[in-house]
């Protein structure tokens, strides 16, 4: 990595993409005291995002020590929403990109960001499988670009994997390590580029094995999950994990893989995605979930209540 010794003080953060993980990143950052702008491509999508963040605030009140008594709700006041990219990034010290896992889309986004964001702004991709070196040249500032990958349910699974590329400035890398720690994450510093980082290098083969068993007709999702829960004494099996992550994410990862992975992607699309079965956020994926209503007692639980047909 190259270096110029110029660090950025991070105070204002913009999160691009308000899906499951983008919403969590935006909320956790605001909960940690930062001013956050959540960007997405339409006001309609942003209205849905506001509901997701409100649900997160209610969940934090139930699950996170110290969140009750107003702190969780106060975090919502530190989040602004914008469907105007230039407006969303004009004063950002750091931009965390959490758009769908497609290289062409990410390159397009970074080309636009490089023109719209201030020169000092650090760009970080939350890509789960793509390498920063595949996008760096499109940012217009490769030395200020790296990967910052979060795990789903980041208030519990609070790892933040930080992975630079050959041109990342070491001072920028260290600034992002410090930022991750400031928002309550456990920084995981990778010494070289690795597709899937550490987490997904372990998780993706596991999930794929479950999907192959399903596609080949060996067993249904409920049976596969049950075997894993019993054997590993784990709370969830691979299909429960996919439902939380979102089937669209699993599909996008499969679409960029080998022919076997693409077969899995086609199966997911035909049997689930095209039928609106996108996972927990949609109320149905491999399992059927209750609608996450927000009440005085917080959001409804998201444990499976039935197997999707």
- Distance between CA 8 and CA 285 in Å, rounded? 41
- Distance between CA 251 and CA 265 in Å, rounded? 5
Distance set, CA 207 to CA 106, 250, 265, 269 (Å): 24, 9, 13, 16
Distance set, CA 94 to CA 15, 91, 120, 238 (Å): 9, 9, 9, 33
With beta carbons less than 8 A apart as the criterion, state whether 130 and 97 touch: no
- Distance between CA 195 and CA 303 in Å, rounded? 31
Q: Which domains does the chain carry? A: 12-189 (3.40.50.720), 199-307 (1.10.1040.10)
pLDDT in tens, the chain (309 residues): 444 445 678 999 999 999 989 999 999 999 999 999 999 999 999 999 999 999 999 999 999 999 999 999 999 999 999 999 999 999 999 999 999 888 999 999 999 999 999 999 999 999 988 999 999 999 999 999 999 999 989 999 999 999 999 999 999 999 999 999 999 999 999 999 998 899 989 998 999 999 999 999 999 999 999 999 999 999 999 999 999 989 998 998 888 789 999 999 999 999 999 999 999 989 999 999 985 433 334 444 444 556 675
pLDDT at residue 128 in the model? 82
pLDDT at residue 306 in the model? 63
With beta carbons less than 8 A apart as the criterion, state whether 167 and 147 touch: no
pLDDT at residue 303 in the model? 47
With beta carbons less than 8 A apart as the criterion, state whether 56 and 27 touch: yes
> φ, ψ for residue 237 (rounded to 5)?
-100, 180
The token duo for 206 is: 């596991």
User: pTM of this prediction?
Assistant: 0.80
Q: Sign of the CA dihedral 286, 15, 171, 105?
A: positive
- Distance between CA 107 and CA 77 in Å, rounded? 32
Q: Which has the closest alpha carbon to 113: 129, 126, 96, 128?
A: 96
- Distance between CA 225 and CA 51 in Å, rounded? 30
């Amino acid at each position: 990595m190259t270096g110029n010794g110029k660090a950025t003080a991070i105070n204002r953060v913009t999160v691009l993409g308000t899906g499951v993980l983008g919403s969590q990143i935006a909320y956790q950052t605001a909960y940690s005291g930062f001013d956050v702008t959540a960007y997405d491509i339409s006001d309609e999508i942003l209205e849905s995002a506001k509901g997701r963040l409100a649900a997160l605030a209610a969940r934090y009140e139930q699950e996170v020590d110290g969140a009750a008594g107003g702190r969780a709700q106060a975090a919502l006041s530190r989040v602004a929403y914008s469907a105007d990219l230039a407006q969303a990034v004009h004063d950002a010290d750091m931009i965390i990109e959490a758009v769908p896992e497609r290289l062409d889309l990410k390159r397009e986004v970074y080309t636009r960001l490089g023109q719209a964001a201030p020169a000092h702004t650090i760009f970080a991709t939350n890509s789960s499988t793509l390498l920063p070196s595949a996008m760096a040249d499109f940012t217009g500032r490769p030395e200020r670009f790296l990967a910052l990958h979060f795990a789903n349910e980041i208030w519990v699974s609070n790892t933040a994997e930080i992975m630079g590329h050959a041109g990342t400035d070491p001072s920028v890398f260290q600034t992002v390590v410090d930022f991750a720690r400031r928002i309550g994450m456990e920084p995981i510093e990778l010494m070289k580029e690795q597709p899937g980082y550490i987490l997904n290098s372990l998780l993706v083969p596991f999930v794929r094995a479950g999907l192959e068993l399903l596609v080949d007709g060996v067993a249904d999702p409920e049976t596969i999950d049950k075997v894993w829960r019993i054997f590993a004494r784990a709370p969830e099996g691979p299909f429960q994990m996919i439902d939380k992550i979102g089937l669209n994410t699993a599909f996008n990862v499969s679409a960029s893989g080998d022919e076997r992975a693409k077969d899995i992607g086609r199966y997911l699309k035909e049997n689930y995605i095209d039928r609106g079965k996108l996972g927990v956020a949609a109320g149905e994926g491999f399992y059927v979930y209750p609608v996450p209503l927000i009440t005085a007692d917080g959001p409804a639980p998201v444990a499976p209540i039935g197997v999707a047909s």
